[in-house]
Each structure stands twice: as C-alpha cells, then as structure tokens.
Amino acid sequence: MAQLISRLRVWRGAVLLLAGLYFLIPMAASVWFSIDDVNGISFDAYTGLLSAPGFTDSLVLTLELAVVTVVVLLLLLVPAMIAVRLGSPKLRPVLEVVCTLPLVVPPVALTAGLIGVLRWGPDYLMDTPFFQTFVFVQQPQFPLVLVIAYVLMALPLAYRALDSGLRAVDVRTLVEAARNCGASWPRAVFSVILPNLRGALLNASFLTLALVLGEFTTASILGYQPFAVWIYSVGNSQGQMSVAVSVLSLLITWVLLLLLAAAGRERRHKTATAS
C-alpha cells in the first residue's frame, strides 16, 4: 500500500511538473522576449505602454465595455433566476437551456449574424425611430453592439456561476423567513438573497470581465478597437510591446481567477462548516 502511495506521488509530481513546464516555458519565453535588448535587459516595452498611441483609449473602452456588460448581464440574469426559483421552478430547465445556448454558437457565427442584422436594419427601418437605435448602438465612442454580443457570450458562464450560488442557498425558505419578519418582496431579495449570493455575483462578474478583456473576434470583425484588438495591431508594428501587453493581461486574468477561486473556497468552507 505504502509503495503504491509513493508511486502515485511520483506520478502526481511528474504530471504537475509537465503541466507547469507547458504553461511556464511559453510564459518565460514571452517575458524574456519582452525585456530582451541588444544592450542586455530593458523594460522599455513595459514603461512605454502608457505613452503608446491607442493604449489608454483601448484599455478604457474595454473596461467600460466590461463594466456595462457585467451590469446588464447581472440585471438580466439575477432577477430572472430568482423569479424562476421562487415562482416557477418548472421553468428552470428552460432558462438553463436558453442561457447555455450561446456556448454552441461560435463567436464568428454570432458576429456574422450581428453584421447581417446591422446591414439589414437601416435599409428597412430608415423612416422609423429604430433607425436611430441602429446608429446609436454602433457609435465608435462606445459601441453598445459589442455589449449585446458580450452579454450573449458571457451568458452561459454567468448563468453557471449564479446557478451554483443559488443552489447553495435555500432561496424560497429564506425569502419566506424574511417576509415573515416583515420584509416586502424586494426587500427580502435585497436584504437576504443578494448578500448570500456575493460569491456567485463576484464569480459571474470576474468571468465576464475576463471574457470581455480577451475577446478579439467580434470586436475585430465589427471594426472596433478594444484592448485585445489593439494588442494585435501593435503586434504588427511593435512586437516587444505587444508581448509585454499580453504578459500583463495574462497576469491580470490570473489575479482575477485567483480571486474567484478564493471566493469559491470561502463559500465551500462555510457550507462544509454548516453541514
């Protein structure tokens, strides 16, 4: 038995080492490439980022898109999921299918569909108030059409995160207990359910944020330049800076995922202690 355990440990170590190398070697190569200079080591690629043309604009645009996407997504999903749990539990599978459907639609197909609608709409809606809507959602300063696309793409991720959070809470009983204590429906949801979904809300937000930070296909095809598209365009002219930005965005994503894991651990710990 002891021999088997020690053999398993060796295998586990080997797999961990291989996985580590698989991720760390390209990462280290990227870091090395971004700081390698004919005169030795230079951090110009990192220090020059702030003054690089388009860096701030694309980063701000991406963050704005991310924040709006998160807000829209949560405003859509949270009330819908709570309402289904409280009012029509039988509709849960329907909501699940609808929310996870975007998983099977590739971003390219989604974007092609969006382009079709955006081209078709103005021709047919020229004389109606909807024409202005089409113009409004495509304005370059803040392309709302990207928010629509990102909300659809992030829907399955956010749904899963929120669903697991709701599963850990007895929504119906807690709402009834709150109402029994004198809280109205909205107050019961705000005072009792949302605070207990904090971890799930954070998870959903982080996942959406990570998706928006890295999304390239839709923004590029629709002709906008958020951060991911900017990195790509910089890569064509300033290779070192492009890799430096990639390394930084990777680190940011890792930090977000670590936060996510920490939030999950806290919830699991609470559940385990309670049971």
Partner 1 sequence: MSTATVAPTTSATVEFRSLRRQFGTTTALDGLDLTVEPGELLALLGPSGCGKTTALRILAGFETHDSGEVLVDGEDITRIPAHKRDAGMVFQSYSLFPHLTAADNVAFGLRMRGVAKAERRRRAQELLELVGLPQRAEHYPHQMSGGQQQRIALARALALQPRVLLLDEPLSALDAKVRLSLREEIRRLQQELGITTLFVTHDQEEALSMADRVAVLRAGQLEQCATPSELYSRPATAFVAEFVGTMSRIPCVRTADGQVEVLGRRHPVDGDLPADGDLHVLVRPENVELTPAADGPAQVIAASFLGAVTRLTVRLPDGTEIKSDLPTETAATLPLGTHATLALPDRPVLVDRRS
What are the beta bridge partners of residue 40? 37
Instruction: Tell me the per-residue interface mask from 130 to 169 with partner 1, x by CB under 8 A, - otherwise.
Output: ---------------------------------------x
- How many binding residues for partner 1 (CB under 8 A)? 24
Residue positions counted in the chain: 275
Nearest approach, Cβ of residue 191 and partner 1 (Å) = 8
Q: Toward partner 1, which CB reaches closer, 52 or 183?
A: 183
Residue pair 202/259 in contact by the 8 Å Cβ criterion: yes
Q: Which stretch binds partner 1 (CB under 8 A): 36-44, 135-143, 182-190, 251-259?
A: 182-190
**39 phi, psi to nearest 5 deg:** -95, 10
Query: If residue 36 lies in a helix (H) or strand (E), which one and from where to where?
Result: strand 36-37
Interhelix angle 55-87/171-180, nearest 10 degrees: 80
Nearest approach, Cβ of residue 160 and partner 1 (Å) = 21
Residues 183 to 202: which contact partner 1 by CB under 8 A?
A: 183-184, 187-188, 191-192, 195-196, 198
**Measured in whole angstroms, how far is the alpha carbon of residue 69 from the centre of its chain?**
9
Residue pair 185/74 in contact by the 8 Å Cβ criterion: no
Q: Toward partner 1, which CB reaches closer, 19 or 181?
A: 181
* Residue 180 is a binding residue for partner 1 (CB under 8 A): yes
Give alpha helix (H) positions in the chain.
Answer: 2-35, 44-47, 55-87, 92-100, 107-124, 130-137, 144-167, 171-180, 185-188, 194-196, 198-214, 217-222, 227-237, 239-274
Q: Report the distance separating Cα 95 and Cα 91, nearest Å.
A: 6
* Residue 39 is a binding residue for partner 1 (CB under 8 A): no
Q: Of 178, 212, 231, 245, which lies in the binding site for partner 1, with binding defined by CB under 8 A?
A: 178
* Residue 90 is a binding residue for partner 1 (CB under 8 A): no
Q: Which stretch binds partner 1 (CB under 8 A): 152-160, 170-178, 228-236, 245-253?
A: 170-178
Q: Toward partner 1, which CB reaches closer, 164 or 220?
A: 164
Q: Which residues bind partner 1 (CB under 8 A)?
A: 169-170, 173-174, 176-184, 187-188, 191-192, 195-196, 198, 270-271, 273-274
